[in-house]
Amino acid sequence: MMTGPERRNAIINQIKTSSVPVPGKALAAHFGVSRQVIVQDIALIRAAGHDIISTNRGYIFHESRSVERTFKVKHTDEQIRDELYTIVDLGGIVRNVMVNHRVYGHIEAILNVDSRRKAAEFIDDIRSGKSTPLKNITSDYHYHVVEADSENTLDMIEEALKKKGFLLEQEEWEKELFQNRDLS
């Protein structure tokens, strides 16, 4: 007997690998459960962040056309605006900011900055509050997961950050850390 989590993982796999929409009725028959259980499973799968679309012919997995890259950067507080504008102007979305503190460990905050307006709002929030940017607890060293429509766009962002002197080379342990994390 399959558990609920096992069934949901199998449903994800079946929908992802199918070249045609997968009807809920077919999933129910395959797993020996009711159609309502499948509907509930799909709701839980979506809540977990999977983009499954219901069509009149069945379920399909919405393939994201985006890619992500983790950038290690260092700059002053005054350069935050320039860093964020550089990324969004080239088509990137700054998903988060992360630091690796020697005492506190990995600390991450979601940003989702995808425009100059959102970048300006973020900077205004930092300046008007009693807090300082997260990067300040690690001598300005920090990381961003940046999402874009293609590797080419990420390459352009990387080159621009490098030209401005913000980009740092990641050490092997850092590459492994971010490669093995689920950042979605």
Which parts are annotated binding residues for Ni(2+)?
75, 83, 142, 144
Binding-site annotation: residue ranges: 75, 83, 142, 144
Planar angle of CA 110, 115, 121, nearest 5 degrees: 65
Nearest to 148 by CA among 65, 80, 84, 86: 65
Q: How far apart (Å, rounded) are the C-alpha atoms in residues 140 and 63?
A: 36
For helices 116-128 and 80-89, the axis angle rounded to 10 degrees is 160
Question: For 62, what's the count of Cα atoms within 13 Å in the CB-facing half-sphere?
Answer: 11
Phi-psi region of 140 (alpha: psi -120 to 50; beta: other; left: phi over 0): left
Q: How far apart (Å, rounded) are the C-alpha atoms in residues 84 and 92?
A: 9
